[in-house]
């Protein structure tokens, strides 16, 4: 399994980037969000990768952020959601926006992605919400004292915890990283700040 690629960008096209490592160019299926943050052709770049092995092909997918890779893996674990559909969704929405759409049941947000109809959007929400139920324990979550009230009152911290669970993070795993975050910030910003804090660990 190839965990990441670190080399020189030699070519880009819609939803693909080619990175040369040790004289070999690796073409990666990728999202428009990743392409927007990658450096220009001829410059060094690093992407986190996921390899898909099928009977007729081997495909490499690359992402600028680990959170995007994790979201991609969650999406492709759903029946009927292949790599191209997941890439289309993550080209239109950030992982934070996907998590918010799922946690709030907003299927219309997912249908903004090319090739994603209402049926697939509903299935994504249903299946990911089921996974969240398994991730979020019933009863109270152990949260830092500074976040206790904010997490309990159904406010933005509580919504962010639910959305982060969609991305595969258990509440007791992420709350230590939320201690310095203003609970009055928008939910999407809280999720983003938390993911950045986790990435710096």
Same domain, 108 and 152: no
Same domain, 51 and 21: yes
Give the per-residue pLDDT at 55: 85
Domain assignment present for residue 73? The answer is no
Same domain, 156 and 174: yes
Out of 33-37, 122-126, 172-176, give the one with best mean pLDDT: 33-37
Same domain, 130 and 168: no
For the cut 80, the answer to whether the pLDDT of residue 128 exceeds it is yes
Same domain, 58 and 9: yes
Q: Which domain holds residue 35?
A: 4-63
Domain assignment present for residue 68? The answer is no
For the cut 70, the answer to whether the pLDDT of residue 179 exceeds it is yes
Report the number of distinct structural domains present in the chain: 3
Domain assignment present for residue 124? The answer is yes
CA distances from 86 to 31, 33, 56, 100 (A): 9, 12, 20, 16
Same domain, 102 and 150: no
Over the chain, what is the mean pLDDT?
A: 84
For the cut 70, the answer to whether the pLDDT of residue 145 exceeds it is no
Return d(Cα 32, Cα 13) in angstroms, integer.
10
Mean pLDDT of 19-38: 96
* Per-residue pLDDT reduced to its tens digit, 60-117: 999 999 889 989 998 999 988 999 999 999 999 998 889 888 888 899 999 999 989 9
Return d(Cα 163, Cα 99) in angstroms, integer.
5
Domain assignment present for residue 31? The answer is yes
Domain assignment present for residue 150? The answer is yes
Same domain, 149 and 192: yes
Burial (CB < 10 A; 0-12, 13-18, 19+), residue 79, is exposed
- Cα angle 69, 41, 3 (rounded to 5 degrees) comes to 30
Q: Give the model's confidence band at 141: pLDDT under 50 very low, under 70 low, under 90 confident, else very high.
A: very low
Domain assignment present for residue 89? The answer is yes
- The residue ranking higher by pLDDT, 199 or 47, is 47
Give the per-residue pLDDT at 188: 86
CB 134 within 8 A of CB 124: no
Domain assignment present for residue 11? The answer is yes
Mean pLDDT of 148-153: 43
Q: Among 95, 114, 135, identify where a domain stops.
A: 135
Name the DSSP class of 175.
G
Domain assignment present for residue 107? The answer is yes
Return d(Cα 61, Cα 90) in angstroms, integer.
12
Give the per-residue pLDDT at 153: 46
Find where tokens 């991609």 sit: 72
Give the per-residue pLDDT at 132: 55
H helix runs in the chain, sequence order = 32-37, 66-76, 83-92, 95-104, 107-110, 118-135, 145-152, 156-166, 171-174, 187-200
């Amino acid at each position: 399994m190839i965990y990441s690629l670190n080399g020189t960008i030699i070519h880009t096209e819609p939803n693909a980037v080619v990175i040369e490592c040790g004289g070999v160019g690796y073409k990666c299926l990728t999202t428009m969000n990743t392409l927007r943050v990658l450096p220009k052709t001829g410059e060094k770049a690093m992407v986190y990768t996921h390899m898909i092995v099928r009977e007729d092909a081997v495909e490499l997918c690359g992402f600028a952020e680990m959170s995007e890779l994790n979201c991609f893996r969650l999406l492709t674990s759903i029946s009927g959601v292949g790599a191209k559909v997941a890439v289309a969704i993550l080209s239109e929405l950030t992982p934070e926006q996907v998590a918010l759409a799922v946690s709030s049941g907003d299927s219309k947000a997912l249908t903004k992605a090319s090739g994603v109809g209402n049926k697939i959007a509903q299935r994504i929400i249903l299946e990911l919400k089921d996974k969240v139920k398994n991730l979020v324990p019933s009863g109270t979550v152990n949260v830092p004292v500074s976040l206790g009230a904010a997490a309990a009152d159904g406010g933005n911290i509580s919504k962010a915890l639910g959305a982060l669970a969609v991305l595969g993070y258990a509440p007791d795993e992420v709350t230590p990283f939320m201690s310095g975050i203003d609970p009055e910030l928008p939910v999407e910003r809280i999720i983003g700040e938390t993911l950045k804090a986790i990435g710096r660990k």
